[in-house]
Structure 1
Amino acid sequence: MKTLYSIFFFLVSILTFAQTARVKGIVLDENNQPVENVNVSFQENKTVTNSNGFYILTIPSNVKSNLKFSHVSLKVAVISLELKPNEDYEFNIILKSNVEQIGEVVITNNSRKRVEGVTTISPKAIRLIPGANAGVENILKTLPGVYSNNELSTQYAVRGGNYDENLVYVNEIEVYRPFLIRSGQQEGLSFTNTDLVQNVDFSAGGFQAKFGDKLSSVLDITYRRPTKFGASLEASFLGASLAVENASKNQKWTAITGVRYRDNRLLVNSQKTETDFKPRFADIQTYITFTPNAKWQHSFLGNISQNKYDYKPLFSKTNFGTISEPIALLIEYQGQEKDKYTTVFGAYKGTYSVNENFDLKFIGSAYHTTEQEYFDILAQYRLGEVNSNLGDDNFGNVEYTRGVGSQLSHARNDLDALIVNAEVKGFHKKNDNQIEWGIKYTKESIRDRLREWEVVDSAGFSLNNPILDTPVNEQPYTPYTGPLVPYSNVRAKNFTDINRISGYTQWNRRTKWNEHDIFTNIGVRAQQWQVSEDNINGKSQMTFSPRAQFAIKPNWDMDMLFRLSGGLYHQPPFYRELRDKEGVVQPNVKAQKSVHIVLGNDYSFKMWSRPFRLVSEIYYKSLSDVNPYTLDNVRIRYAANNNATAYAEGLDLRLNGEFVPGTESWLSFGYLKTEENIDNKGFIARPTDQRLKFGILFQDYVPNIPALKMYLNLVYNTGLPGGSPSYANPYDYQLRLRDYRRADAGFSYVFTDRARAKEEGSWLYKFKELSLGLEIFNMFNNQNAITNTWVRDVYTKQQYGVPNYLTTRVFSVKLVAKL
């Protein structure tokens, strides 16, 4: 009997010892990003994390030992662990960086983004660098290939494209801009809240198939998942923002919410026009995540925005001409403009890890906007010669009137748009191969009413629309007997529905050729869409867009990488591209086509014992089925008839690194030439043909007072085509605006931050960051013009292009506090 008991207890002990448990979880870095290829070990049991940072490891139960996490670029973490038999234990960990931090900026190499030709921008730099519209777009405008000549606008053009050719994603969810915006002053807030941003990636061309159907660029933004409570406040003369974040104790729930308010009166009041201006731009955004287990993660992104733009111009005086013959345009206004843009956006994203090599994502979003644009403005002008006698009491006054006239502008434009998306994505990994795919359905419903007209008269008689075939008005020399028509008149009512199905698949592989690293990406996109206008269906259309990227990193002593990317890119028309110059929707507009070829070089090196990086790219685009357009301020009007071909070619250079120890700065240069051929009349400059671009983003500090910092944002662009009258035939007028030159500077004193943390007991101890600064916008007071107003001198039959100037030098104070 004793023998039987001994055998029984021996078997039980063996079974108990043989029983196992499981530990699983997600490994994150300090930015709350999942970390791939982390080695996880428990005694002899080992595994590695997948692309989502997920790991699962079977370990012996009832054994106390160390669970170890190690990664080549992160600090090793070790915890002591003992699990019960069959216990399923979830453990999520944040690994600290072992990259040496100098001052406040950490410069690292991200090999995947480097291979893809993606520019990564630090969220801290985005928040610190000054600008009239500070934020992500403000930084983008310093990059080569990115062009803008309007500091009041957050819109930008990339390598010859226009404002409608850029993709913007937040957490893989496409976001949209208002439709009726015609002036940069009306834009208010960008969708992206920089207080919530964790990562910003930007690609100026040759991007992968996983990104959508646009011709020019991709801005890919990731909002962060907080790990504990925090709050930040930013306030200046231009507005304020507040962000609050928190996470549950078990890290399963996280939430971050930001509220912003902006008032542009400080900037607009610096313009030449005296106004009674009451802008009210406000929004609230929230990003919530829920991770119930290692398999699932759910998130919600929501935004409510209301921009109200009340504008009442009073008087303006613009001096132009020459020193020997100065001329002034004096305008008195009556009337006002009332615009309102209200948008509501919500999106759900679910990520399911089927196993360590297979992930699924489910994305659904809805965007609703109601917009109104109402104005009645009477402008009565006087054009005259200015007294240029320095000793005269009337110096600077208009003494002789060359012409008088008036302009009455009217609009009652309303728009209601609803855009709904549903998308499924998959990610597979096997050895060195990665396959990604996705399919997306989009429904767009737009209800639009355009009612706008303009009447112009000079010296007491009405000017006809120059585009219409009406008799020439030669008053006062000969009587005019033709019909009286408005100078411009647009009337349309559109009920437009668009159904789209799009999808993509792409393959990535990293291999070796001798001792050289080879990276390959091949993919294809497809989209089918149909436009219905007032319940009448247009024809169904489909496009296919093959794309590829190839990169090689030679096994050289120099850290150098070469890239070749490109393919066929299509842009199926969005609503604004369907609407012609008369405001009428043309449902059968075809997708614009572009063949991209981008050759790039990426060279990382050390200078002055500090890291630097030089990125250079040569690109060429050949475009067909082009939809010609005119550009007035930020308003785009399309011909909607695909009657042009075009091309764009250029060179982009960017050098970034620690010009000052502990701070990251960069210099950029861009050359661009883009032309179009409309109706086979020959090639002329496109509206975005901005030949040369220089940009500088520079950070510095006082050596003896390192808490005193300086930030400089400098941009120089050669002039855009756009100096001609809006009605002019572009083949007859190819005038350009003056060069755009702007420098914004910021000076701040940092009371405390991570590098200067205060001891417990100090009133600054609870602050992660506290700084007070002075910002100077347009530091050198350059007079930049966005358009020209064309005034006719009746008696001499001359026309004068009077520049519409942007903002002058402006000062502001800025407070930043973080808990």
Structure 2
Amino acid sequence: MKPNFFSLLILLILISISSSAQTATLKGVILNENNIPIQGANISYNDSGTQSDKNGVYQLSIPANQEITIHISHISLKNVQFVINLEENQEYELNPVLKTDVEQIGEVIISGRERKIVEGITTLDPETIRTTPSANAGVEGLLKSLPGVSSNNELSTQYSVRGGNYDENLVYVNEIEVYRPFLIRSGQQEGLSFVNTDMVRNVDFSAGGFQAKYGDKLSSVLDITYKRPTRLGATADLSLLGGSVSAEGISKNKKLAAIVGVRYRDNSLLVDAKNTETNFQPRFADVQTYLSYNFSSKFELGFLSNLALNTYDYEPLTEQVNFGTLQTVQALTVRYDGQEKDRYETYFGALKGTYRANDNLTLKLIASGYHTQEQEHYDIFAAYALGTVNTDIGSENLGEVEFSEGIGSQLTHARNDLDALIYNLEHKGTYVADQHQFDWGIKYTSEDIRDRLQEYEIIDSAGFSIRPPVLDFVNDQPYTPFASPIVPFTSVRATNSTKIDRISGYAQYSIRSNIKENEIWANIGVRAHNWNIYGNTVDSSDSQIVFSPRAQVAVKPNWKSDMIFRLSGGVYHQPPFYRELRDSLGVVRPDVKAQQSIHIVLGNDYSFSMWKRPFKLTTELYYKKLTDVNPYTIENVRIRYRARNNAEAYAQGVDLRLNGEFVPGTESWVSFGYLKTEENIDKRGYIARPTDQRLKIGVLFQDYVPSIPSLKMYLNMVYQTGVPGGSPSYADPYNFQTRLRDYRRADLGISYVVVDQNKRLRQGHFLNKFRELYLGFEIYNIFDNQNTITNTFVRDAASRRQFAIPNYLTPRVFNVRLGMKF
């Protein structure tokens, strides 16, 4: 089977096909000044065109990846003309308002991608996100193929960017900041990404040097825009891991538009393939709604909501992990008793009002609320044995443990409960005058967090209870008896009631102009953030405030080569959130300062043609200097902060991405990233940070068979060098700088399009009722690489040694998918 499979894979990758015309879609609703739909308006380009129907709705297919001049006209209304350049398969919604005079307006250039390029923003195609195979399907699965974005865990939607940790990334949906659960503690225990790809219209991502209008985080911004439907429709995507369905529609008067998405996912297929035999049922479900109502041509009200329920019933049974060298293979065998029951419920709702006072001024008011109730309850007893493995190839007992050198047991207990309520009220404004743009905003946030943390760990080896290695106690067991009372190896007990009030705001100015024949764009702005921490169990702190000036400049020289040069940077602060205030013992420290980072990013975009097809090479050099750093450790994907600003750090590197039509009509890319990030704790010298991912190579490749264009392939590959493997409890990280093995993963998806807009079956066929219908299969980790997320440190009192046992991730897994649109 393997030779046939790899032959097919190589064949698909090496396919070379002839070019064909690719299209994009322009659609929307045409209205007059009284917000009444216009019937019979002409929408045309060259010799092609269409007319709006009785509801003012139109849809027009246009050539992709080239500038097209669109004309919109009506016999009694003002004509509109603009230039648009869309990507292949992109859908762009434009709802023009035609005025009641007959003057021809000046030409308008619509090129959203060009504007984002000069701002250093990467735009991802939502359709590519939906079709690209990934064990954790969604936006984050595609982000991990970009340079500068790292993750060594396919079971988690969390990611680090340019040396930052998982808490340093901003996520917005329709300009509304969204939050993640607090108690996430392992890659197996993480639910769905907040972003529902069935509802997405646009995805923008910035890996650093972003504008002042974005919030107070150190690393990145993921800016999502949900679509406003223009027609009645539905989608469904089903697989062995779960499924999603969505429905959308618009009222007859085009004022009310709604889209609802429901998702369900069961990761049992993935975790059952791991080397731990368990009864594990990780189940995630959520419902999202986005409603928008146009009260008039000037005022629109939007409503975004999300209800998510994640449950985990975990009962480990047995496990065997082989490790060591070829000459000396050792094994850790474990038998478990007990179980873990976790539950996360999150509720999110937001209202956004947009008032377009005139063509120049836009005002927005956003109110949102986030409520999460989370619990982690577990009691797990593990009896383990360390032994040597039979490596005699001719032996009947090959691979079995021959002799146990040390035995022991471990009991872990937790009763962690958290209830958090967060409110936001924000105003934003934009004023545009010719080539000038002013943006401003102010935001109030109230956070009320109630937390109970109760964890302990007891370790026993050869009948001796291992005590924590505190400095005033020398543990010489089992050679010297110790008569003191038995204490847990680790014990954390805390109850906190913490409230945080925040006021933040920004102001920025942008200009687009020319210097001689060279185009230039510049942005300058500043953010301010003030916060105060208090509560029943917390000593009130003095109010703290930080200022973050930022600037960007981009130049497009008048050269034959199509190039854009960018320089961006500034000061970025991350005022502490609750998790950053709580130290490893559960104590909330209100005097923790905001971490500070100085960004400098130099970028270049070079657009060119190769094989008569468009390509673009993006290069960015960056340097980040961090002060007042709050050191942390990572246990799987759980972050534990020291809640002290006792370190400084830096991150430096280079990111390159070549994207274009390696195969005509499809977008693929190859990305490369080099990163070095180190920290200096208490002035002891620089060591690697937990996210020090030195080398990263990512590939996204799309292809299809020339003679059967409906048969498509998607290949998502990532190679990353290993990150530091962490350290055991109470250990000094300066003594544990060994790294995990390199992370190598390739996910393959092959699908067959039965029906779409360009492929219809014979007249009257029942499958023509679908707008789109495809089926396919996916193979995750096709080369079956043994990747690791972290180490488990096993202590043996008999030999007085400590072993780093790797925790392996998922092996090769097969999945089947069925997708449809109505």
Distance 2:807 2:784 in 1: 15
Amino acid at match of 1:442: T
Query: What corresponds to 1:30 in structure 2?
Result: 26
* 1:391 matched to 2:394: yes
Aligned partner of 1:640 in structure 2 is 643
Alignment TM-score, normalising by the size of structure 1: 0.89
Q: How does 1:37-52 map to 2 (within 5 A)?
A: none
Q: In the alignment, is the contact (CA less than 8 A) between 2:690 and 2:726 conserved in 1?
A: no
Q: Determine whether 1:266 maps to 2:269.
A: yes
- What residue number does 1:529 align with? 531
The unaligned stretches of length 5 or more in structure 2 are 1-23, 32-37, 39-61, 93-109
Deviations 1:246-279 (A, max 9, x none): 0012211100000000000000011110000122
- Cα offsets for 1:399-419 (capped at 9, x unmatched): 211000000000000000000
Displacement, 1:80?
Answer: 3.0
1:427–1:109 Cα change, 3 Å: closer
Q: 2:214 aligns with which of 201, 211, 224?
A: 211
2:386 is aligned with what amino acid? L
SS of alignment partner, residue 293 of structure 1:
coil
Match of 2:522? 520
Matches for 1:612-651 after TM superposition, within 5 Å: 612-651=615-654
The 5 A counterparts of 1:555-704 are 555-704=558-707
8 A contact 2:185–2:636 mirrored in 1:
yes
Distance in 1 (CA, whole Å) between partners of 2:512 and 2:29 is 22
2:501 corresponds to which letter in structure 1? N
Q: CA deviation at 1:394?
A: 2.1
- What one-letter code is carried by the residue in structure 2 that aligns with 1:796? S
Decide which moves more: 183-192 or 210-219. 183-192
Of residues 102-111 and 249-258 in structure 1, the stretch that sits farther from structure 2 once superposed is 102-111
- For 2:76, the equivalent position in structure 1 comes to 81
Kindly indicate whether the alpha-carbon contact (under 8 Å) linking 2:145 and 2:698 is maintained by their aligned counterparts in 1: yes
The 3-state SS of whatever aligns with 2:188 is helix
Residues 499-533 of structure 1: CA deviation (Å, up to 9, x unaligned) = 00000000000111000001010000001100113
Partner of 2:775: 772
Distance in 2 between residues matched to 1:272 and 1:428, nearest whole Å: 58
CA contact (8 A) 1:31 1:224 kept: no
More off after superposition, 119-128 vs 427-436: 427-436
Deviations 1:8-67 (A, max 9, x none): xxxxxxxxxxxxxxxxxxxx98376999xxxxxx9xxxxxxxxxxxxxxxxxxxxxxxxx
CA deviations over 1:261-316 (Å, ceiling 9, x no partner): 00000000111100001222100000000002111010000000000011000000
TM-score (norm 2): 0.88
Q: Check the 8 A contact 2:29/2:230 in 1, yes or no.
A: no
Q: Which residue does 1:86 correspond to in 2?
A: none
Aligned to 1:720: 723
Contact 1:331 1:381 in 2 (8 A): yes
| Structure 2 equivalent of residue 380 of structure 1 | 383
Q: Following the alignment from structure 2 to structure 1, what is the Cα–Cα distance between the partners of residues 111 and 766?
A: 34
- 1: distance between equivalents of 2:196 and 2:26? 20
Counterpart-to-counterpart distance in 1, 2:620 and 2:448: 39
**Mapping 1:434-445, distance limit 5 Å:** 434-445=437-448
> Secondary structure of 1:150's match?
coil
Contact 1:409 1:454 in 2 (8 A): yes
**Deviation (angstroms), 1:470:** 4.7
Matched, 1:737 2:740: yes
Q: Give the alignment partner of residue 501 of structure 1, picking from 484, 500, 503.
A: 503
Q: Find the counterpart in structure 1 of residue 239 from structure 2.
A: 236
**Aligned residues with identical type, % of pairs:** 62
SS at match of 2:735: coil
Shift of 1:813: 0.3
CA 1:621–1:103 in 2, change beyond 3 Å: closer, same or farther? closer
Question: Contact 1:791 / 1:799 at 8 angstroms: preserved in 2?
Answer: yes
Following superposition, the deviation at residue 792 of structure 1 comes to 2.8
The residue type equivalent to 1:370 in the other structure is Q
Question: 1:32 touches 1:224 (CA, 8 Å); kept in 2?
Answer: no
Instruction: Indicate the SS of the match to 2:195.
Output: coil
CA RMSD of aligned residues (A): 2.3
Does structure 2 conserve the Cα–Cα contact (< 8 Å) formed by 1:560 and 1:601? yes
Query: CA–CA distance in 2 between the matches of 1:294 and 1:758?
Result: 41
- Pair 750,108 (structure 1): closer, same or farther in 2 beyond 3 Å: farther
C-alpha distance 762-411 of structure 1, shift in aligned 2 (>3 A)? same
Matched, 1:415 2:410: no
Query: Whole-Å Cα distance in 1 between the matches of residues 27 and 345 of structure 2?
Result: 33
Distance in 1 (CA, whole Å) between partners of 2:87 and 2:803 is: 57
Show the counterpart of 2:308: 305
Contact 2:633–2:690 (CA under 8 A) maintained in structure 1: yes
| Gap change, CA 1:31 and 1:76, over 3 Å in 2 | closer
* Paired residue type of 1:746: G
C-alpha deviation, 1:802, in angstroms: 1.1
Distance 1:557 1:79, change over 3 A: same
Q: Which whole-Å CA distance do the structure 1 matches of 2:249 and 2:763 have between them?
A: 23
For the pair 1:465 / 2:468, whether they are aligned, the reply is yes
Q: Which amino acid aligns with 2:758?
A: A
Partner Cα separation in structure 2 for residue 656 and residue 540 of structure 1: 47
The code of the aligned residue for 1:799 comes to Q
Gaps of 5+ in 1: 1-27, 36-41, 43-69, 83-90
Instruction: Give the stretch that moved more between structures: 145-154 or 109-118.
Output: 109-118
1:342 is aligned with what amino acid?
E
Cα drift, residue 723 of structure 1 = 4.5
What is the SS of the residue equivalent to 2:357?
A: strand
Contact preservation (8 Å) 1:724, 1:736: no
SS in 2 for 1:184: coil
Q: Is the 8 A contact 1:551 1:563 kept in 2?
A: yes
CA contact (8 A) 2:539 2:590 kept: no
Q: What amino acid is aligned across from residue 379 of structure 1 in structure 2?
A: A
Residue matched to 2:52: none
Structural mapping, 1:71-110, within 5 Å: 73-81=68-76, 110=113
Give the distance between the partners of 1:96 and 1:261, measured in 2 at CA. Answer: 42
Aligned partner of 2:319 in structure 1 is 316
CA contact (8 A) 2:25 2:91 kept: no
Q: Which amino acid aligns with 2:738?
A: L
Instruction: Call closer, same or farther: CA 1:30–1:103 in 2, change over 3 Å.
Output: closer
Secondary structure in 2 aligned to 1:266?
A: helix
Equivalent in 770, 784, 787 of residue 787 of structure 2: 784
Amino acid at match of 2:604: N
Matched, 1:474 2:503: no
> 1:286 is matched with which residue?
289
Partners of 2:580 and 2:727 lie apart in 1 by: 23
What is the deviation of 1:108? Answer: 7.7
- 1:484 is displaced (CA, Å) by 2.4
Distance change (3 Å), C-alpha of 1:501 and 1:479: same
SS at match of 2:413: strand
Conserved? CA contact 1:719–1:738, under 8 Å: yes
Offset at residue 73 of structure 1 (A)? 3.9
> How far apart, CA to CA, are the structure 2 residues paired with 1:165 and 1:240?
30
Report the more deviating stretch, 103-112 or 618-627: 103-112
Range with bigger deviation, 422-431 or 480-489: 480-489
Tell me how far apart the structure 2 counterparts of residues 527 and 145 of structure 1 sit (CA, whole Å). Answer: 27
State the SS of the aligned residue for 2:667.
strand
Q: Structure 1 364/251 Cα, relative in aligned 2: closer, same or farther at 3 Å? A: same
Kindly indicate whether residue 363 of structure 2 is the aligned counterpart of residue 368 of structure 1: no
* Structure 1 residue identity aligned to 2:492: V
The residue number in structure 2 matching 1:348 is 351
Counterpart position of 2:248: 245
Q: What is the rounded CA distance, in whole Å, between the counterparts of 2:668 and 2:124 in structure 1?
A: 11
Indicate conservation of the 8 Å contact 1:368/1:419, yes or no: yes
Q: State the aligned residue count.
A: 749
Q: CA deviation at 1:722?
A: 1.9
Equivalents in 2 of 1:100, 1:698: separation in Å?
A: 21
State the distance in 1 between where 2:305 and 2:228 align. Answer: 15
